[in-house]
Chains A and B, each alone.
Chain A
Amino acid sequence: MASVTLKEVSKSFGAFDVLQSIDLTIEDGEFIVFVGPSGCGKSTLLRAIAGLVPVSKGDVFIGGEQVTDVPASKRGIAFVFQSYALYPHMNVARNISFALETARMAKAEIRQRLTRVADMLKIGHLLDRRPKQLSGGQRQRVAIGRALVSQPQLFLFDEPLSNLDADLRMEMRFEIAKLHAEIGTTMIYVTHDQTEAMTLADRIVILNHGRIEQVGTPRELYDRPANRFVAGFLGSPRMNFAPVHTDTSSGLLHGPSGFVFATSGTGSSQPVTLGLRPEALEIVEAGTAQSISGTFERAEDLGYEHIAYVRLSDDLVWTIRSTEPLSGHARGQAVGLGWQIKDLYLFNEAGIRVDVEAARGPVVAVQS
């Protein structure tokens, strides 16, 4: 078990800066998830921690010791690859015990550890098979077994479930959570599946363009996103945004038609964008007080939830999510979208979230 500290870690491939001055502290025993759009540098950051790619600048500490130049095999880590990277020519037993064999561990001890890991992952009956004779889920278990057997102080996972189908993914997600609860080793997990991130993580690290956008518990990131990027990244369907502007004379914030919000006045952090999550919206009669007006586009029934699309303007369509059916409106019918101040997010020019209560003016929103 070990903590991990990154100090101003940067990585460039040629002139291309993949990671830019990453500072991060991971506590001993934490389950940390890196998420971010494709190409944002998640894998590179994980590989830098593993020692598979050298960092260009900055320092990496594992368990309080500086390991920036220590080779991967001496960092006490285990890595689970997206493609599993099992040795195709070795059977499952040898795949798992190869690291121990390389370290010249005694045969008896190897066998003992192998049995324990195989029992834990329920792969005892597969030990004689080659990787290509295994299903995707079984390969995944073997890959985790290979990581477990060397009893690392830090587990690194790079999108381990992305090659599995939805059912199996859920099952393995549960298993990984269980594994963490059992052994309590620090784990860093890369994914771009936000369900995995939200369900597994003690804390989530959101990356974008090689920078950390925000670090926090899933709840914190969801309820209090630091900026527009984080707000738009977490949540499915994603948050609805619309441009707003402040009328300097009245102090009223104008947005999509029907939206009015009184601000406390002018300042450097004038909101320019508003955000409302799909589940915070409600379809109401057109013209209802305090509602945003639009025209109904279409409804989707997913069984357990219902999604509707409402057009606010030519290039702006908002999503509404509800557990209640949202059909019953004709395409093109004028509707209103009800919302509440507690669900409102505002973002300034730089995309930073503006605290709604602080921005709120003395006049409670009035209808125009």
Chain B
Amino acid sequence: MTQTSDRYSNRTYRRLKALKRIGLYAGVTLVLIYMLFPYYWAIISSTKTRESLYSFSLVPSLDFSNYISLFNNPIFMGAIVNSAIIAISSSVLSLVISLLAAYALGRLHFKLSRIILICVLMISVFPQVVVLSGMFEVIGWLGFYNRPAALIFSYLLLILPFTTWVLTSFIRDLPVELEEAALIDGCSRMRILTHVLLPLMGPAIASTGLLAFILAWNEFLFALTFILTDENRTVPVAIGLLTGSSRYEYPFGQIMAASVTVTLPLLILVLIFQRKIVAGLTSGAVKG
């Protein structure tokens, strides 16, 4: 016999359930406000005139003069193009390299693979400042200084450990028998990678590629150090160096407008790939 004497009535349990649901939604709303407020604030500020900027208001005033002056700023527009080129090439390049590395590390069993993986993980632990001066030297030797190549090259160092790690664990999760079947079907290692594994790795590629892109798109320290002239700047630095009409004016509205503008492509990408990102990140995590 189960104990039934010390329970509430059914109605009480129903009310409790309703109460819990209200609590849940209240909590979710709070968290959402906490996370989204900075973006909202940036959007509002970017549409305020210079005069109203310092008055507190939560409604946007829909004044787009900041955006207009921003899009007429050749340095900023150039920076967007630079950023796009650099972010796309470094994320594509790192995907290609890390895919090859991940296949070797995840599948072809050789003694060093464990050690290499641990090294890769350790590299990703170093703070950027640590590698900054060494990287500066290397870029000098290669003659990349003040060129987009400097950033593409140095971003690989930031991105590769992470993409290699994620793709390796993803490849390890794919059934070995699939590859054995392909081997028997006469495939070379390269054909296995391109025709069997790659099509199955869509989610992983999308998520790691996107995160790599975001990393490169938002990077500031290397971009500030390795680029000297305005026409080669990337967006984060260009925003930081935006100037107002006079030396003493801080162009807050324009900076906000610029931030909103450069976040937009990221948001769109994230929304497009949202499903795949979640699938890619969890499949590695849950099974690995």
Contacts and interface: CB of A to CB of B under 8 A. Distances in A.
B199 A89 contact: yes
A368 interface: no
A189 B175 CA distance: 21
Interface in A56-82: 71-73, 77-79, 81-82
B184 interface: yes
Given A79-B180, A79-B181, A87-B196, A73 B175 contact: no
A73 B199 contact: no
Interface in A15-52: 50, 52
Given A88-B200, A89-B200, A102-B191, A83 B186 contact: no
A81 B186 CA distance: 16
A81 B180 contact: yes
Contacts of B92: none
A286 interface: no
Contact of B184 (A50, A83, A87): A50
Contact of A73 (B178, B186, B195): B186
A261 to B, nearest CB: 51
B185 A99 contact: yes
Contacts of B191: 102
B177 interface: yes
Contacts of B193: none
Contact of B185 (A73, A81, A88): A73
A170 interface: no
A222 interface: no
Nearest to B181: A85
A72 B184 contact: yes
A87 B186 contact: no
Interface string B164-183: 00000000000101101111
Given A85-B178, A89-B199, A102-B191, A77 B184 contact: yes
A99 B196 contact: no
Contacts of B186: 73, 99, 102-103
A96 to B, nearest CB: 10
A241 to B, nearest CB: 38
Interface string B245-283: 000000000000000000000000000000000000000
B93 interface: no
Contacts of A71: 183
A52 B183 contact: yes
A79 B199 CA distance: 23
A78 B182 CA distance: 11
Given A89-B200, A102-B191, A78 B177 contact: no
Contact of B183 (A72, A83, A87, A89): A72
A34 B283 CA distance: 36
Most central of B183, B184, B199 by chain A CB within 10 Å: B184
B200 A85 contact: no
A98 B185 contact: yes
Most central of A77, A82, A88 by chain B CB within 10 Å: A88
Nearest to B177: A85
B224 interface: no
A83 B196 CA distance: 16
Contacts of A89: 199-200
B183 A73 contact: yes
B157 interface: no
Most central of B175, B185, B199 by chain A CB within 10 Å: B185
B135 interface: no
A205 B195 CA distance: 37
Given A73-B184, A79-B181, A85 B196 contact: no
A102 B185 CA distance: 7
B199 A102 contact: no
A139 to B, nearest CB: 13
Nearest to A143: B181
Given A85-B175, A85-B178, A102-B191, A79 B184 contact: yes
A208 B185 CA distance: 31
Nearest to A90: B199
Contacts of A85: 175, 177-178, 180-181
A81 B180 CA distance: 9
A50 B181 CA distance: 11
Nearest to A89: B199
Contacts of A52: 180, 183-184
A78 B200 contact: no
Contacts of B120: none
Nearest to B179: A85
Contacts of B196: 87
Given A73-B187, A77-B184, A81-B181, 15 more contacts: A50-B184, A52-B184, A73-B183, A73-B185, A81-B180, A82-B177, A85-B177, A86-B181, A87-B181, A88-B200, A99-B184, A99-B186, A102-B187, A103-B186, A150-B185
24 contacts: A52-B184, A72-B183, A73-B183, A73-B185, A73-B186, A79-B180, A79-B184, A81-B181, A83-B175, A83-B177, A85-B175, A85-B180, A85-B181, A86-B181, A87-B178, A89-B200, A99-B184, A99-B186, A102-B186, A102-B191, A103-B186, A146-B181, A146-B185, A150-B185
Interface of A: 50, 52, 71-73, 77-79, 81-83, 85-89, 98-99, 102-103, 146, 150
